[in-house]
Amino acid sequence: MDGTWPQEIIEKAWELGIMNNHIPEEYGGVGASYLEGCLIEEEIAWGCSGIATSIGANGLAAAPLLVGGSEETKKKYLGMLTEAPKLASFCLTEPNAGSDVSGMRTTAVRKGDTYVLNGSKCFITNGGYADWFTVYAKTDKDAGHRGISAFIVEKDDTVTVDKKEDKMGQRASNTATITFNETEVPAENMLGEENKGFKLAMMTLDRTRPGVAAMATGISRAAFEMATEYSKERVQFGVPIAMHQAIQFMIADMATKVHMSRLGTWNSAVLLDQGARNTLESSHAKRYAADSAMEVTTDAVQVFGGYGFIKEYKVEKLMRDAKIMQLYEGTSQIQRLVIARETLLPRRVEEPATA
Q: List, by residue number, the catalytic residues.
A: 329
Q: What is the CA radius of gyration of the chain?
A: 21
Closest CA to 65 of 4, 174, 154, 181: 154
Per-position DSSP letters for 59-116, written without gaps between them: HHHHHHHHHH--HHHHHHHHHHHHHSS--EEEE--BTTBSS-GGG---EEEEETTEEE
3-state class (DSSP) for residue 57: helix
- Which neighbouring-strand residues pair with 148? 138
* CB contact at 8 A, 117 and 181: no
- Residue 175 β-bridge partners: 125
Pairing of strands 107-111, 114-125: antiparallel
Whether 240 contacts 234, CB under 8 Å: yes
**C-alpha dihedral sign at 270, 274, 280, 282:** positive
The span from the CA of 43 to the CA of 219, in Å, is 9
| Cα–Cα distance measured from residue 76 to residue 161, given in angstroms and rounded to the nearest whole number | 24
What are the respective helix, strand and coil percentages of the chain, to the nearest 5?
55, 20, 25
For residues 125 and 134, the answer to whether their CB atoms sit within 8 Å is: no
